[in-house]
Amino acid sequence: MLSVNLYCKLFPFKKLATDSNASLPLLHKDGLIFNTTLPECYKNQQFINFCSLVDVSSPELDLRTATSAPKEKKVSKKIAKESSYTISYLINSCGLSPEKAISASEKVHFETPEKPNSVIALLEKHGFSKTHIANLVRRRPVLLLSNPEKTLLPKLEFFKSIGVSQAHLGGTISRDPTLLTRSLENQIIPNYNYLKSVLLTDEKVAAAVKRTSWVFLEDPGKNLAPNITVLKELNVPQSCIILLLTHFPEAIMQRHEEFRASVSEVVEMGFNPLRSTFVLALHAISGKGNKTIWARCYETYSKLGWSKDDIFMAFRKHPNCMILSEKKITRTMDFLVNKMGWESKMIASCPTVLFFNLENRIIPRCSTVQVLFSRELIKKKDLKLTTVLLPTEKYFLEKFVTKHEKQVPKLYDFYEGKIGIEEL
């Protein structure tokens, strides 16, 4: 796509029309005059308004970001000035890119900075960073025209009152500023009351809204309440419902029929509704995104030697093993199988190890026990996957490090990565 900079380099702007045959826009003192041969995609109102005052050295702009508008040969100074002021403000005060500023200017318009300045000042006072403000304005530019004290402040204070910390407030709201457009009394507080009745504590309600703002945007009676009823009919414990709604609200807020289908699928896979793995599995197969990840994980495990039974065994033991990244699975399996010599199928029976950090846990522990084994200080039976990787840090140090420091000086330094194998 052409940008203003690139277009100007190819077809330099001129202050007055001198060449009636030139296929380029010509700047006139009262605005822009377009030659009839200029491409139609550049004959739109937003581009006219912006280019009537733009400096050719300005940042690159996509000339096709604005939508088509009635053709005009000439734009008044007033329209050009008002439009350019809004765009300039969105760029300089809100941190938007020129392209986003032009797009946002289609939805918001102001001639003076008083109101938007007061909105930005309020947001900054409540911990919104420049990035948060840019994201908020890009998504909901009309919020710049809100009454900060009457409209925005009560909502910000409400979310802080239920436990959304100032450190998280900006990120939570800027991801979906729609929260600030909804009625506090008619929607936000009623939704909060329902969520509190299910989750029991403000801390968990705050955790849910940090995961997705939809817990406050959608009527609970539409999908959430009916879906919870489905789980209760299966005797899913309240603690598991709380787990699902707190950490994976998008799963329990699916369309009701889709949720029912997901529940049936998890039941058919043999998951026990009384255990937490049931709701974790429900999350793993919920939604198109997770289903795609599940299928990709299945393919990855198959390539690494797992059978269908191995995959489903691992899934039943630890459902989240089917939402790991392909890179994480491959790197961990490669080390455990090719470096340590453990069978791929052995990992399927203990999928928990796939969640451990490779650099901080798996490699240091495995390298340490390999040293001990090579010096015949431990036996092969001590090199089991479960005995090396699953124990707590305290237990591992006592069994494999402290116990052998006399025979292997600096073993702890080696385990900590402070020295290499050649220094032992």
Cβ neighbours of 340 (radius 10 Å) = 17
Q: How many residues are recorded in the chain?
A: 424
Nearest-angstrom CA–CA distance, 295 and 285: 10
Nearest-angstrom CA–CA distance, 368 and 24: 71
pLDDT at 424: 78
Q: How far is the CA of 162 from the CAs of 66, 180, 299, in angstroms?
A: 41, 16, 43
Three-point CA angle 49, 138, 130, nearest 5° = 115
pLDDT at 301: 97
Burial class (CB in 10 A: 0-12, 13-18, 19+), 306: buried
pLDDT at 82: 57
pLDDT at 273: 97
Tokens of 307: 């059978």
Q: Going by C-beta distance under 8 Å and a sequence separation of 6 or more, which residues neighbour residue 367?
A: 414, 415, 421
Reported as a single tens digit per residue, the pLDDT across 45-94 is 444 444 544 443 343 343 334 334 444 444 455 555 557 889 999 999 99
Q: Going by C-beta distance under 8 Å and a sequence separation of 6 or more, which residues neighbour residue 406?
A: none
Maximum Cα interatomic distance, the chain, rounded to a whole number of Å:
92
Nearest-angstrom CA–CA distance, 130 and 152: 18
pLDDT at 77: 54
Instruction: State the sign of the Cα–Cα–Cα–Cα dihedral 386, 392, 398, 401.
Output: positive
* pTM of the predicted structure, to 2 decimals: 0.76
Angle between helix axes 363-374 and 393-400 (nearest 10 degrees) is: 20
pLDDT at 408: 93
Q: Are 203 and 163 in contact (CB under 8 A)?
A: yes
Residue reference for tokens 């995609």:
41
Which stretches in the chain have pLDDT values below 50? Answer: 1-50, 52-75
